[in-house]
């Protein structure tokens, strides 16, 4: 049966953010006209009263996608572990609890690949989630997301509540944050190389030694996968959302340099942490349970991301003149 999105009243927390904006766009394409995107200025989801007001402001919601989060790269996680823990545990726990109280039939929690143990066998299978401690630099954030999975399973066991938990791998694409203080690896690489190219510098310096591997999923693909889970998945077990393609940071840097047109040297600062040694997920559960398979090749997605960022820079230059 085809899921009827036209009949849904949907809340998307974090709907103005990177992943959230793409999810909102996808849902509208599917025919969802009744969408509510709470803004942080109006609804601080760390506060119980704000969560209660959220559901009162949009009565009759049929599902909530919880994407709101305080996020960042390795540097931000190392600098603000307490803030990352506090903000995310409260937002997740309260948003789910008040959805249950308000009688919203379905809750889609969006977790993170960072929840996996540091030395998880590759590819990461969902059943490996509890076999160790996460990589230290982002452990507080990763453990919070594990607890939100536990909460969803506990609510299913006690209340029969239909809460599901998804774990996207590293996202990239148009609309990402290119702020070097809190951006992830791909936008940081693109920005550093374009700036070096513009300023005529002969090298860029990157963290670590380039040996770690990562899996990246194009943000538009991830949005589709999350929506498909919202429509068709009703299980207790977590599900990876990824591309199944693994690439080293060194190879990523070389590919980015090629697409940007940066011909300088890449230098590695080995005094800085590498992060988790390898990341690559098993994507068979998502395909089996709700038919999701990423469509965008990594090279095509990276090319589109570079083009989008250059367009933003051009617009900013025009605004100055």
26, 98, 141, 155: the active-site residue:
141
Per DSSP, what are the bridge partners of residue 66? 13, 109
The vertex-44 CA angle with 79 and 7, nearest 5°, equals: 120
Which are the contacts of 195, defined by CB distance < 8 A and separation ≥ 6? 201
What's CA 27's distance to the chain center, in Å? 17
Are the C-beta atoms of residues 209 and 273 closer than 8 Å to each other?
no
Encoded tokens for 185: 């690896």
Q: Which of 247, 273, 137, 250 is nearest to 204 (CA)?
A: 250
Name which of 9, 218, 229 is nearest 108 in CA terms: 229
Q: For the purposes of burial, counting CB atoms within 10 Å of the CB of 9, is it exposed (0-12), middle (13-18) or buried (19 or more)?
A: middle
State the Cα–Cα distance between residues 35 and 29, nearest whole angstrom.
12
Strands 9-13 and 265-269: unpaired
Cβ proximity of 240 and 169 under 8 Å: yes
Instruction: Tally the residues of the chain.
Output: 321
- Residue 172 phi, psi dihedral angles, 5° rounding: -155, 160
141 among known catalytic residues: yes
CA distance 218 to 173: 6
Contacts of residue 185, Cβ cutoff 8 Å, sequence gap at least 6: 73, 170, 214, 249, 252
- What's the CA gap between 295 and 99, in Å, rounded? 32
Evaluate the omega torsion of the peptide bond into residue 40 and state whether it is cis, within 30 degrees of 0. Answer: no
List residues with catalytic annotation: 141
């Amino acid at each position: 049966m085809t899921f009827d999105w036209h009949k849904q009243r949907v809340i998307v927390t974090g709907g103005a953010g990177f992943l959230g904006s793409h999810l909102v766009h996808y849902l509208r394409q599917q025919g969802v006209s009744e969408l509510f995107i709470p803004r942080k200025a109006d609804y601080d989801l760390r506060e119980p009263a704000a969560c209660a007001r959220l559901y009162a402001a949009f009565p009759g919601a049929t599902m909530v996608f919880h994407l709101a989060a305080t996020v960042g790269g390795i540097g931000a996680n190392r600098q603000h572990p307490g803030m990352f823990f506090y903000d995310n545990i409260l937002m997740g726990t309260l948003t789910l609890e008040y959805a249950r109280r308000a009688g919203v039939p379905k809750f889609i929690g969006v977790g993170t690949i960072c929840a996996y143990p540091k030395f998880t066998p590759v590819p990461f299978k969902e059943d490996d989630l509890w076999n160790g401690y996460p990589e230290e630099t982002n452990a507080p954030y990763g453990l919070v997301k594990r607890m939100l999975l536990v909460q969803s399973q506990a609510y299913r066991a006690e209340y029969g509540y239909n809460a599901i938990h998804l774990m996207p791998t590293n996202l990239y694409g148009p609309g990402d944050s290119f702020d070097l203080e809190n951006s992830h690896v791909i936008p940081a690489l693109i920005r550093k190389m374009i700036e070096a190219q513009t300023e005529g510098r002969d090298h860029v310096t990157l963290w670590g030694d380039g040996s770690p591997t990562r899996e990246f999923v194009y943000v538009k693909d991830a949005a589709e996968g999350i929506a498909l889970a919202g429509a068709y998945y009703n299980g207790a077990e977590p599900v990876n959302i990824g591309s199944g393609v693994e690439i080293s940071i060194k190879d990523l840097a070389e590919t980015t340099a090629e697409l940007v047109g940066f011909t300088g040297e890449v230098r590695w600062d080995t005094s800085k942490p590498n992060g988790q040694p390898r990341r690559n997920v098993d994507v068979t559960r998502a395909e089996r349970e709700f038919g999701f398979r990423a469509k965008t090749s990594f090279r095509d997605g990276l090319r589109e991301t570079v083009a989008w960022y250059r367009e933003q820079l051009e617009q900013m230059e025009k605004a100055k003149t």
